[in-house]
Structure 1
Amino acid sequence: MGVTFRFIHAADLHVDSPFRGLTEVPSHVREALREATFRAAGHLVDTALAEQVDFVVIAGDLYDSADRSLRAQLALQKEWRRLHAGGVRLFVIHGNHDPLSGQQAMLSWPDGVHFFGADRVEQVPAYTKQGELAAYITGISYGSRSVTANLAAGYRARQDGSYEIALLHGNVDGNDGHDPYAPCRLDELVGAGFHYWALGHIHQRAVLNRYPHVVYAGNTQGRHAKETGPKGCYVVDVSASHDTELKFVPLDTIRWAHLRTSIDGIASEQALLDAMEAAASEAAAGCGGRSLMARFTLIGRGPLHAGLSDPGLLRELLEGLRERMAEEAWQTEAGSLHGAWCWISGIEAATGADLDMEALAEEDSFVGELIRMHAEAGNLEASFKELLDEALQPLLGHAKLRKLTRAAMERKAADWYAQGRELAVGLLASEPAARPEGNQGQGGEGR
């Protein structure tokens, strides 16, 4: 039996990360973006003190670049001193963005901070604030930016009854969205004998396995349009019997969102603007007092489709929506107004023209034939069941086999009908704006 303790698992702070590719951003938005990663680091320390955790682990990429800025280093030095003053220890590994080979200032760090080296896998004890042994933490930092070896293969669990945390910055099971650094397999981690794998590198938080826990905390602040949704850390409670419970705590000050508005049933630009404003306002109000960076994709079919193929109209919609959102004010959960803002970074169109299904069904064409077949699906379904009963009569004598066979064939028939309809719609959609990214108004975020 161990002791009860609490720790925070965070990763990918990317302090002083530049927000590239954003044009036409007002000065207050630009300044907020510049400070966002710094403020997230401060919120991490605030959370550790408020939650009275025993220690914090950070799974790499504290900084955004190997040659980290002095401003970023001084900011973290200040925050780690606050942790130390609160009796909270910190365990850190460095990742591909901030390898130990990068240039760094000669600064003094609090005694309560332990940086893992890159020469070998290291294992160190972690204690509660009362001085009791809570866990052993195993980890290794990146010595250089590109680490393609399986670092996890060198981790060895004690398996002596202690709670064991493995701190790793790497790519599990080949996530396509991130570089294949320190690649490893999930089954490899699960079978390694550790109780909790505290992972970094993938910016989308995820619990890949429970007991043992294999967890990506995600990054603490979204940095571009693809990093949507709440960003933060996990507060982890461990019981004396090693039961493990996770609670996600958001740390971000600016939230990114990808909003979609359908033009179905919308006949005027005024109505479209109203619908987009309502969607943006709802998203901003749901950010818990945070500011919102949002981009729109227009979808669906309707009479506005032809106009939306004009980049000039998208540009005017973008400007009009930005003006509207600049005048908005949102309330906190307590009902008071707050000073958060909402900036629309871009609008793209992926819409289609209205379809006259009745007219198409009368056409002497392949598309018309598909539509007529779909319309007759109800009658065909009954006929198909009769055909199945006759063709499969030798198999239908056994009750259980009869049920399984009929169900399987009916599912297959439904798939055929669905595929036929999708093919028809796909053929019809070849005329509208079938572009992967659609038209985009100026001012869209860079990729």
Structure 2
Amino acid sequence: MGVPFTFLHAADLHLDSPFKGLTKVPDAVRERLRESTFTALGGLCDIVRREKIDFVVLAGDLFDAADRSLRAQLRLQRTLGEMTALGVQVFIVHGNHDPESGRQAKLDWPQGVHVFGSSGVDCFPAHTRNGDLAAFVYGISYPTAAVTDNLALRFKKREGAPFHLALLHANVDGDPSYDNYAPCKLEELTSAGFHYWALGHVHDRRILHEYPHVVYPGNLQGRSIRETGGKGAYIVSVSDTGSIDMRFRDVADVLWQEIAVSIEGIEREQELKNRLGSAVEEVRQAAQGRPVLARIRLAGRGVLHDKLIQPSVAEEWLEELREWVGAPEDSEGWIWPESISVRTGGVLRLENAAEEEGFLGELLRRGLAAAHSPELSKDLLDEAMETLRRQPKIREWLETRTHEERIEWINQAMELSVSLLREEDAG
């Protein structure tokens, strides 16, 4: 029997993330994004105050770059000081974005902050605010940015505590969406004797296993359109018998959202305008006052397809949509359309067009066959992009694309081919 306690599990703060790649962004949007990781960090501190948290675990990538910005280090020092002033301990490991080898300012962390080293797995006692022993917390930091060893195998449970928590920045079961650092297998974690694995590295929140718990809380603030929706941390309450209750708290300051708008069943631009306006307003209402960066994805089949794929048409729709939603500086809960992607299809289905004889039919049959084979999809794209593949960086980027991404490109190419060749025949 132990004592009941509550801890906060967060990871991947990426403080002072630069938010690269945004073009034509108003100053109000850029400044809000620049502060968003720090605002989310403040949200963690608010949770500690409201929820009577006993201790906090931060599972790596607190900073966005190995050479941490001074601003990020000072902000973190101040926030951790506010937490420890409440009687809360904080346990930290560093990951691939903020390894020990990175350049750091010479700052003193507040008393009660425990940073794990990289030479081996250390163990620290975690206490409740009343001073009772709650758990042993184990962890290890990255010495350099690229750690390919299985760090999980170094964790060994020690006797003397009612609860054992392992803090690790790692890729479990080789998720291809993330760099395969500190690779390990789920069964290695569940069989190691720990009650809770507090993980970092994956930016989606995932509960991989319960009893023992193996958990990714995701990152605190979405940094691109690939990281949509609410972001935050888990509040984990452990009873005196060891039962675990988890509650997710969203602390993201700015939301990223993808908005799907179908062109099916509409024939006029006015109908598309109405659908776009309604979809954007729904997202604004759901955000409940938080700013949103949105990517609009036009999908479905319809007669407007041929017009939408014309050069500059999507950009014209985007510019008009930005005018409709208003300037970000005019509203606290603004929405900024980041881009419009056209993923529509013509009225004629590809499967039907593929039955034709001739060049178009043969092209579509190859494309449709590739949809069912990762090998064929890769071969088809390699053939189509033979010239581009001569550039090392482009070749490396193409090699890391998933089958799903390749199929999306192939489908777009097939739809464009149908539209262009049909237009040529009609002319």
Q: TM-score range with shorter-chain normalisation?
A: 0.7 to 0.9
Check 1:111–1:342 CA distance in 2 against 1; reply closer, same or farther (3 A cut).
same
Contact preservation (8 Å) 1:58, 1:91: yes
Alignment pair present for 1:51 and 2:51: yes
- Aligned match of 2:344: 351
SS, match of residue 338 in structure 2: strand
Q: How much does 1:326 deviate?
A: 1.4
Q: How much does 1:363 deviate?
A: 9.2
- Aligned match of 1:341: 334
Contact preservation (8 Å) 1:159, 1:193: no
- Aligned match of 1:433: 416
Alignment pair present for 1:191 and 2:191: yes
Contact preservation (8 Å) 2:173, 2:185: yes
- Aligned match of 1:375: none
Contact preservation (8 Å) 1:171, 1:182: yes
In the alignment, the residues of structure 2 paired with residue 356 and residue 151 of structure 1 have an alpha-carbon distance, to the nearest angstrom, of: 50
Contact preservation (8 Å) 1:293, 1:345: yes
- Aligned match of 2:325: 325
- Can you give the 5+ residue segments of structure 1 that lack an aligned partner in the other structure? 331-337, 368-426, 436-447
In the alignment, the residues of structure 2 paired with residue 342 and residue 315 of structure 1 have an alpha-carbon distance, to the nearest angstrom, of: 17
Q: How much does 1:434 deviate?
A: 7.5
Q: How much does 1:88 deviate?
A: 1.2
- The amino acid of 1:126's aligned partner reads A
- Aligned match of 1:132: 132
TM-score of the aligned structures, taking structure 1 as reference length:
0.78
In the alignment, the residues of structure 2 paired with residue 145 and residue 202 of structure 1 have an alpha-carbon distance, to the nearest angstrom, of: 16
1:47-98, CA deviations, whole angstroms, 9 ceiling, x for partnerless residues? Answer: 1111110010000000001110111101111101110111111000000100
In the alignment, the residues of structure 2 paired with residue 433 and residue 295 of structure 1 have an alpha-carbon distance, to the nearest angstrom, of: 21
SS, match of residue 289 in structure 2: coil
1:374-394, CA deviations, whole angstroms, 9 ceiling, x for partnerless residues? Answer: xxxxxxxxxxxxxxxxxxxxx
- Aligned match of 1:239: 239
Q: How much does 1:432 deviate?
A: 2.1
Check 1:327–1:74 CA distance in 2 against 1; reply closer, same or farther (3 A cut).
closer
- The amino acid of 1:4's aligned partner reads P
Contact preservation (8 Å) 1:148, 1:182: yes
Alignment of 1:273-422 (within 5 A): 273-326=273-326, 339-355=332-348
- Aligned match of 2:74: 74
1:93-135, CA deviations, whole angstroms, 9 ceiling, x for partnerless residues? Answer: 0001001111111111110111111111001100000000001
* Moved >4 Å (runs of 4+): 327-330, 362-365, 427-431
Alignment pair present for 1:32 and 2:25: no
Check 1:139–1:268 CA distance in 2 against 1; reply closer, same or farther (3 A cut).
same
Check 1:139–1:114 CA distance in 2 against 1; reply closer, same or farther (3 A cut).
same
Contact preservation (8 Å) 2:135, 2:161: no
Contact preservation (8 Å) 2:309, 2:342: yes
SS, match of residue 149 in structure 2: coil
Alignment pair present for 1:166 and 2:134: no
- Can you give the 5+ residue segments of structure 2 that lack an aligned partner in the other structure? 362-409, 419-427
1:295-328, CA deviations, whole angstroms, 9 ceiling, x for partnerless residues? Answer: 0111111110110111321111001111111179
Q: Which has the larger radius of gyration?
A: 1
Q: How much does 1:25 deviate?
A: 0.3
- The amino acid of 2:316's aligned partner reads E
- Aligned match of 2:16: 16
- The amino acid of 1:39's aligned partner reads T
Q: How much does 1:289 deviate?
A: 2.0
Alignment pair present for 1:265 and 2:265: yes
Check 1:356–1:91 CA distance in 2 against 1; reply closer, same or farther (3 A cut).
closer
- The amino acid of 2:65's aligned partner reads S
Contact preservation (8 Å) 2:136, 2:161: no
1:18-59, CA deviations, whole angstroms, 9 ceiling, x for partnerless residues? Answer: 011101000100000111111111111111111110010000
- Aligned match of 1:373: none
- Aligned match of 1:94: 94
Q: How much does 1:168 deviate?
A: 0.2
Seq. identity, %: 49
Check 1:290–1:138 CA distance in 2 against 1; reply closer, same or farther (3 A cut).
same
- The amino acid of 1:432's aligned partner reads E
In the alignment, the residues of structure 2 paired with residue 95 and residue 139 of structure 1 have an alpha-carbon distance, to the nearest angstrom, of: 11
Check 1:428–1:126 CA distance in 2 against 1; reply closer, same or farther (3 A cut).
closer
Contact preservation (8 Å) 1:219, 1:232: yes
Check 1:321–1:72 CA distance in 2 against 1; reply closer, same or farther (3 A cut).
same
Larger CA deviation: 259-268 vs 125-134:
259-268
Number of equivalent positions: 367
RMSD: 2.5
SS, match of residue 197 in structure 1: strand
- The amino acid of 2:312's aligned partner reads G
